[in-house]
Amino acid sequence: MQTGEAFRDGYVDVGGVAIHYVASTPDPTRGLPVLAVPGFGEAADEWEPFLARLAPRPAAAVSVRGRGRSDAPERGYRWEDHVDDVDAVVDAMGWDELAVVGFSRGSSYALGFALRHPRRVRALVIGDYEARHVGLGPSFVEASLKRRWNGRTMLERMPEHAIRGMQEESVEIPLWDRLGELTCPVLLIRPERRGILTDESVARWGAAVAALEVVTLAGTGHNMWTDDPEGFAALARDFVARVDPQP
């Protein structure tokens, strides 16, 4: 896609790990900025079309450790480590307040950041995920090594030791009981076809979050933001605009 939008690359150091991000370069005064946290195996660069659709609102996307052009350390793949990556990029951007958009597994890192900084996050968008950081069983590694995502194998997206590190250092972290700590409105985007969110899990979100909106993106599966890029971006863009109308 030719977006016509200019992007800049940046790196931030997180305990000796270089974390890469991309940022759009619209007028920085044009409203609440947005940070995108991609899903498993995805890189910040892939989200440039999404960021462009948010213009002129400032926006950035992060490649958490082991993905894209970020470093892939031998160890350091806990949930908290990934949240640290998000945290560092937000600080590098100099954003005191922002909206956060998480997709799939990236949603647990986005939610972790929002729980760490509830007063800084003014809007949170969750793309097809529950309020948990999923513990990954041993079968995850072999399944991932055989998997393709958006036209590329996982080994083209991540080194094998990073995939194994994610699995070995992952533990199940339920976050349902912490949703009450959020002070911002939340948008859940569900796919029309089978995804991760079930009616039961949506109800759990609704029971815990006072300002919750739930939208089903027609014609999509779990990979919503590539099944319908404009639709996914429009839902996020309009939600953030309701929280923070642009001047």
148: closest CA among 159, 157, 139, 138? 157
Domain boundaries, the chain: 7-133+175-243
The CA-to-CA distance between both ends of the chain, in Å, stands at 28
Domain covering 7-133+175-243, topology: Rossmann fold (3.40.50)
On whether the pTM is more than 0.85, the answer is yes
Quick one: residue 198, left, alpha or beta (phi over 0 = left, psi -120 to 50 = alpha)? beta
In 3D space, the residue among 151, 185, 144 whose CA is nearest the CA of residue 166 turns out to be: 144
HEC string of 126-173 equals EECCCCEECCCCCHHHHHHHCCEECCEEHHHHCCHHHHHHHHHHCCCE
In the predicted model, is pLDDT for residue 121 greater than 60? yes
Is residue 231 over pLDDT 70? yes
Question: How much of the chain exceeds pLDDT 90, in percent?
Answer: 87
